[in-house]
A = this chain, B = another copy of it.
Amino acid sequence: MPLKPSTVAGPLNGVTVIDLTRVLAGPYCTMVLADLGARVIKVEHPDTGDDSRHIGPFIKGKSAYFMSINRNKESIALDLKAAPDRALFERLLAQADVLIENYRGGTMEKLGYGFEALAPRYPRLIYAAASGFGHSGPYMKRAAYDMVVQGMGGVMSLTGHPGGPPTRVGTSVGDITAGLFTAIGIASALFERQHSGQGRKVDVGMLDCQVAILENAIARFTATGEIPGPLGARHPSITPFEAYETADGWIIIAAGNDSLFRSLGRALGRPDLPADPRFDSNPNRTQNHDALKVEMEKSLKTAGTEHWLGILEAAGVPAARINNVAQVLSDPHVLSRNMVCHADDPDVGRVTMAGNPIKLSGFADPESRHPAPALDEHRQRLLDELHAVESSA
Contact = CB atoms under 8 A, between A and B. Distances in A.
Contacts of A156: 170, 233, 243, 322
A359 B184 contact: no
A148 B155 CA distance: 19
A343 to B, nearest CB: 11
A57 interface: yes
A222 B351 contact: yes
A161 B159 CA distance: 11
Nearest to A356: B212
B170 A231 contact: yes
A325 interface: yes
Interface stretch (A78-86, A136-144, A374-382, A383-391): A136-144
Candidate in A147, A164, A200, A256 with the most chain B CB atoms within 10 angstroms = A147
A227 interface: yes
Interface string A168-195: 1111110011101111110111111011
A275 interface: no
Contacts of A230: 167, 170
Interface stretch (A87-95, A213-221, A264-272, A294-302): A213-221
Contacts of A190: 187, 191
A96 interface: no
A307 interface: no
A181 B257 CA distance: 27
Contact of A221 (B139, B329, B355): B329
Given A171-B158, A214-B354, A339 B191 contact: no
Interface string A124-166: 0000000001111111001111111111111111111100111
Which range contains the number of A residues in contact with the other chain?
35 or more
Contacts of A13: 192
A289 B69 CA distance: 26
Contacts of A224: 57
A155 B171 contact: yes
Contact of A133 (B11, B182, B333): B333
A47 B186 CA distance: 39
Contact of A68 (B134, B147, B219, B362): B219
Interface string A235-260: 10110011100000010101011000
Nearest to A150: B252
A360 interface: yes
A168 B213 CA distance: 15
Given A173-B169, A190-B191, A336-B137, A358 B148 contact: no
Given A115-B361, A171-B214, A185-B358, A328 B153 contact: yes
Contacts of A316: 143
Interface in A311-334: 313, 316, 318-329, 331-334
Contacts of A219: 57, 64-65, 67-68, 353
B192 A325 contact: no
Given A151-B322, A211-B339, A212-B339, 19 more contacts: A14-B195, A36-B184, A56-B283, A151-B252, A151-B323, A154-B325, A155-B170, A157-B170, A159-B167, A161-B164, A166-B252, A171-B215, A200-B362, A202-B359, A208-B357, A210-B328, A214-B325, A222-B352, A227-B325
19 contacts: A32-B184, A57-B223, A64-B219, A68-B219, A136-B336, A138-B333, A145-B318, A147-B320, A154-B324, A161-B165, A167-B230, A168-B234, A176-B177, A185-B360, A198-B362, A204-B357, A215-B354, A222-B353, A228-B325
